[in-house]
Structure 1
Amino acid sequence: MGATTFWLLEQDLKRRAKIEKDAQDDLSYEEMTVEQLKQKAKDKGIAGYYNMKREKLLEKLKG
Structure 2
Amino acid sequence: MTTRRAVPATEALYLACEREAAKSDLDTSEIMQCSVLYEELKRRAFDGNFKLLKTWADIQIVAEGY
The interval holding the TM-score normalised by the smaller chain is 0.3 to 0.5
Q: Rg bigger for which structure?
A: 1
TM-score of the superposition, structure 2-length normalised?
0.32
Which structure carries more helix by proportion? 1
TM-score of the superposition, structure 1-length normalised?
0.34
